[in-house]
Amino acid sequence: MSQVAIVTGGTRGIGAAISRSLIDSGYTVAASYGGDHESAKAFHEATGAHTYQWDVADFEACVEGVAKIEKELGPVEALINNAGITRDGTLHKMTPDRWQEVIQTNLSSCFNMCHAVINGMRERGYGRIVNIGSINGQAGQYGQVNYAAAKSGIHGFTKALAQEGARSGITVNAIAPGYIETSMVAKVPERVLEKIVAGIPVGRLGQPEEIARAVEFLVSRDAGFITGSTLSVNGGQHMY
């Protein structure tokens, strides 16, 4: 039986690339999504990935979602916390709702999902968790206090949970992507994007598949001595 991996936000963008990569590596992938049913259906038909819909910001929904996956597919051995949103704005214009929405979806979701799988991983003595952070959680970004705070929190969360899981055969790592060519980055005004690319030493945006390959390695058994680490995949834009 192949290993089961959950990829949150796994039907679009970086998440879709991660799902595809893990399927190609022999995993049975459960890709969760928030509400875009058409994209999820198309992704399932194109890849064969199992798709599940729930709100990762909802603790009980995560518990129920994981329980359903384990009943239908088997025990979860790899979890990739990729789901994330942006609600940009400078602090003096940001509403409490925009703050909370990003914190809950991007950061609290990591707690929700890890809490739902950690006991099973501990009992089996094996697990792989990869949390998707961001260059903006390392360096900050104008107009993204909510997003930067959430992603920075992911990096600290990763290091703490790695210490808790290490003796149980569970590794917990983070990946901090730089600017990747996705629909989210495509929304950045062209003149702003040109300045961003000009500041990337390799001279281009990253590709979702480059993040996926990093995830693929970190969830492999070959990466068993790597835990509590943050791998920056950003073309040299921020050397942290």
Catalytic-role residue among 27, 147, 179, 240? 147
Give the strands of the sheet with 50-53, arranged side by side: 50-53, 28-33, 4-7, 76-81, 127-132, 170-177, 230-233
**Which residue shows structure tokens 């959680």?**
137
Residue 3, sorted as left (phi over 0), alpha (psi -120 to 50) or beta, turns out to be: beta
The answer to whether 175 and 216 have CB atoms below 8 angstroms apart is no
Q: Is 142 a catalytic residue?
A: no
Sign of CA dihedral 89, 90, 94, 100: positive
What is the greatest pairwise CA distance in the chain?
A: 53
Alpha-carbon dihedral 151, 112, 7, 39, rounded to 10 degrees: -90
Q: Which residues are catalytic?
A: 147
